[in-house]
Amino acid sequence: MHANISFAVASFLVACCVSLTAYFFFNPPAFPFQLDAEGLRFIIWPSETLAAFRWPVLALVVILSVVSFGMIRYANRQDAQAKENLWGKILEVFVPLALLPLACVPMLLADMLPPLISTNLRLFVVLAAFSIFFVRITDALLTVEGINTRYPVAWVWTIFLLATVIFAHGGYRFSKQVGEHIGDEGHYLVQAQSLYEDRDLDIKNQLFEALGIGDPAKINRVNFHIHRHSSGDAFHSVHPFGLSLLLAPSWKWGLGGRHIVLGLISGAGLAGLFLLCRRMGAGNIAALCAVISLGASIFWSIYSYRALPEILAATLTIWTFWAIAVQRDRPWASLLIAAACCVYLPFAHTRFIPVSLMGIGLYGLFGLLGEEHLRAKARRLGLFTLICAAGYGGYLMVQSLLFTGPGEYPIRSTLFSYPWGAWEIIVSDRGIASIFPVIYWLAAAMVAWLVVDKDNRLFCLGIIATFFSCLLTSATFYWYTGGSSLPGRYLIVVVPLLFVGAAVMMERVSVITRAWFFFLTLFSMMLLVLVWINLSAVDRHFILPLHFFSSFPLYQDIYFPHASFRDDFIADNRLASIHGLAALLLTTALFALNRRRWPVSLAALILVLGVGLTTQAHFAHDRFNFQRYMANLTFDPQAVIQKKRVHEGRPFVLRLDPLLMHAHTGTKVTKDGVNAWGAFQGRDDRGELAWGKFVQLFPGRYEVSCHFRLADCDGEGYVAEMDVAGSYGEEILAKMRIPCNPGISSASLQLDLGSFTLVEPRVFYHGRGSIVLYEIQIREVQH
């Protein structure tokens, strides 16, 4: 009876821990941010009461966590049969969740910690707690033989149906919010529309209708990616039509029909991955972990929502390798599946030809090494070769019918034109590791699988070779980023194959190594959740989520130790490369450490995160956008504001180019190589010369000045007027008239702001004299 009461109390406390943490994450106690250049740190308290009592609240949060953790331990000690008690086993699994309230501590101390620490410490605590939680669940399930060996077909159909429904519904909602297409998607959709409406791939009619014109000469072929060697007078897209062909039948059902097809493709890919993992020796639970890790990531999910060929290619590749693995047991079914997938890959995109050829070669190799009689091998593999040859012949014939000349991107000018792209697609700020860090674990697992599994070593080598065939042909040119798309676009076709090694090794690694897998997986899932929760604010920034969230309330300096490699190999690039190598090597080392060396393993994980934070702290480029932060606050920031100067930084200076502002009068003026905006008497009407640039300023004193040249005035009257408006023009914070004083001059206004204020500098031309406006400057005046 006493034990039951203890279990009940412990359960209640764990529920309180989860609820309290969720409450503070959805209703943050404080909103901190830091302006590094100015050396200022701010914290905004939405609640004055909480600001006044934060130390008692902080103490209660810590006490709740410690008491909850201790109560679970006490309850299990009280029950001598706890190990056999179902309630006790469940509580043991939930022990890590008692640590969740500790994530609230950095939130309450945000004015004392830099954002790099306060943001990431709370995220790391949450990710670590849930990682250990999932490790305890898998520990209990991986050893249950019945769960891991029975009914794989039922698992496959469940995964397929659930994934289809989730991605179809999610994709529909996502597209309704952010738009039906972005980047290259429109080029695939217009081909699907042409196939449905005209039964051909000539998209001229669709462009005429969309643009409201009928003259082909008025259409910019480059903007609409029209192949310059399209046959006859047709408009054929440079983008292959494989995905469009599958989407065309659903065109009449609109957006919903399209996402049903995309959901079916994605679901088929995840179901195939489960089967492939099972075939290579992983149990049901390990295979399911691999499927969830991929399917619930922002990487796979966002691409499953979009009309791009990458998920289609990944699905075809997965089923190709499943066919390779099962051809000994299902020779003829595997032949048909492998041939169909390998033949269709080039139609999905030319970039997938290397992967298709690897699939053809590996199917033939494993067929030759199989145990069939020689005559049966020759007959089956000969037919496979003929089907693939006919498929490639059909592909070449279609290409010759559509185009009369070479493609838009000649191989000689793209392949290996930028070898560094193969590294940057992993570690740069447009690289896959930024949003899908579990890639490091997958790479290490493939190495470990290669070493420990002699029976499947050749298959493992085949996956590695296929991965590098894609990496070296799709990422070794300057546009490895994939345009307006989520990072890692060109690798998604082969990344799912790496999960096979992860699933196999899942059952063989230490607890800490498995916890690291869940930690990295949950980071990608967390990004997906953040995008969905803030979808109206994120909008089309979803293609670069970390760039966006680095300037979002509560997430300034979110873990993002990845730099842009678009410039020379500067210090930021070297730091990002060091972090990438450290993450890869230390994660690989975890597989070599046995269970008894858990302190070393734990130190390696802390070192990886420490290197990442140190790397990010030393980046020269500051990603924080103050305007975006303030625009996305969900409450009036004039609450309880605390401002602290953390170091003596340069005064805030913002230079506004009049050419980039709105104007109702005037024209561009160029003199002595300097561009400006000017208005001249007798030619230009009176009106706004510069307006529409809104700037969010923090509390302080500022000088707003404009630099200009005056001429053609008689010394009487005023040429222009300068003012600073607040709250989108609802109030005038300061203003002055600009009298006639021929020559180069400037005018300045002083602002004393006691709160965060949205300001708009403006210059109005009175129609007399001439004025050439060079620059408007906003400068902080330090006391």
**Contacts within 8 Å (CB) and 24+ apart, 330-334:** 331/372, 331/376, 331/380, 332/380, 334/363
Q: In sequence order, what DSSP letters do the residues of 482-538 get, joined into one string?
A: -SSS-TTGGGTTTHHHHHHHHHHHHTTS-HHHHHHHHHHHHHHHHHHHHHHHTHHHH
Question: Domain segments of the chain: what residues?
Answer: 1-143, 152-201+237-506, 653-780
pLDDT of residue 163: 97
**Mean pLDDT of the 199-210 span:** 86
- Measured over the CA atoms of residue 48, residue 632, residue 777 and residue 619, the dihedral's sign is positive
Using the predicted structure, report yes or no on whether residue 81 has a pLDDT greater than 60: no
Q: Which of 498, 457, 134, 148 is nearest to 314 (CA)?
A: 498
Distance CA 380, CA 382 (A): 5
Q: Do residues 692 and 780 lie in contact, with contact meaning Cβ atoms separated by under 8 Å?
A: no
**Stated pTM of the model:** 0.90
Using the predicted structure, report yes or no on whether residue 413 has a pLDDT greater than 80: no
pLDDT of residue 211: 82
pLDDT of residue 503: 95
**Minimum mean pLDDT range among 73-87, 370-384, 642-656, 744-758:** 73-87
Q: Do residues 219 and 213 lie in contact, with contact meaning Cβ atoms separated by under 8 Å?
A: yes
Q: Give 773's strand partners.
A: 677, 708
Strand 700-711 and strand 743-753: pairing? Answer: antiparallel
Distance CA 691, CA 95 (A): 58
**Mean pLDDT of the 275-302 span:** 94
Q: Cα–Cα–Cα angle for 261, 263, 264, nearest 5°? A: 65
Q: Do residues 626 and 696 lie in contact, with contact meaning Cβ atoms separated by under 8 Å?
A: yes
pLDDT of residue 715: 65
Distance CA 514, CA 507 (A): 9
Using the predicted structure, report yes or no on whether residue 1 has a pLDDT greater than 50: no
| CB neighbour list of residue 556: distance below 8 Å, 6 or more residues apart | 32, 33, 34, 115, 119, 550, 624, 629
Structure tokens at 63: 């006490």
pLDDT of residue 3: 58
Burial call 36-55: b when 16+ CB within 10 Å, e when fewer: eebbbbbbbbbeeeebeebe
Higher pLDDT, 640 or 338: 338
Q: Do residues 727 and 674 lie in contact, with contact meaning Cβ atoms separated by under 8 Å?
A: no
Quick check: helix, strand or coil at residue 417?
coil
Cα–Cα distances (Å) from 694 to 225, 309, 748, 778, in that order, read 36, 40, 18, 12
Using the predicted structure, report yes or no on whether residue 568 has a pLDDT greater than 70: no
**Mean pLDDT of the 187-196 span:** 92
**Mean pLDDT of the 361-379 span:** 90
Q: In sequence order, what DSSP letters do the residues of 553-576 get, joined into one string?
A: TT-TT-S------SSSS-HHHHHH
**Mean pLDDT of the 188-210 span:** 89
Q: Which of 492, 498, 486, 491 is nearest to 441 (CA)?
A: 498
Quick check: helix, strand or coil at residue 680?
coil
**Minimum mean pLDDT range among 337-351, 592-606, 763-777:** 592-606
Using the predicted structure, report yes or no on whether residue 368 has a pLDDT greater than 60: yes
pLDDT of residue 80: 52
Distance CA 157, CA 368 (A): 32
Q: Cα–Cα–Cα angle for 398, 401, 402, nearest 5°? A: 90
Distance CA 83, CA 76 (A): 8
Using the predicted structure, report yes or no on whether residue 707 has a pLDDT greater than 90: yes
Using the predicted structure, report yes or no on whether residue 146 has a pLDDT greater than 70: no
Rg for the chain, CA atoms, rounded: 31
Distance CA 341, CA 321 (A): 10
Domain covering 653-780 in this structure, CATH number: 2.60.120.260
Strand 640-645 and strand 653-656: pairing? Answer: unpaired
3-state class percentages of the chain: helix first, strand second, coil last, to nearest 5? 60, 15, 30
Using the predicted structure, report yes or no on whether residue 52 has a pLDDT greater than 60: yes
**Mean pLDDT of the 653-660 span:** 89
Q: Do residues 135 and 518 lie in contact, with contact meaning Cβ atoms separated by under 8 Å?
A: yes
Using the predicted structure, report yes or no on whether residue 353 has a pLDDT greater than 80: yes
**Minimum mean pLDDT range among 227-231, 288-292, 367-371, 573-577:** 227-231
Using the predicted structure, report yes or no on whether residue 312 has a pLDDT greater than 70: yes
pLDDT in tens, 533-565: 999 888 888 899 999 999 999 899 999 999 888
**Mean pLDDT of the 616-634 span:** 85
- The overall average pLDDT reported for the chain is 89
**What torsion, rounded to 10 degrees, do the Cα atoms 408, 410, 411, 417 define?**
-100
pLDDT of residue 230: 84
**For a pLDDT cut of 90, what percent of the chain falls above it?**
55
Q: Cα–Cα–Cα angle for 468, 472, 474, nearest 5°? A: 110
**Mean pLDDT of the 609-632 span:** 88
Quick check: helix, strand or coil at residue 402?
helix
> What band does 89 get if pLDDT is binned at 50, 70 and 90?
confident
pLDDT of residue 516: 96
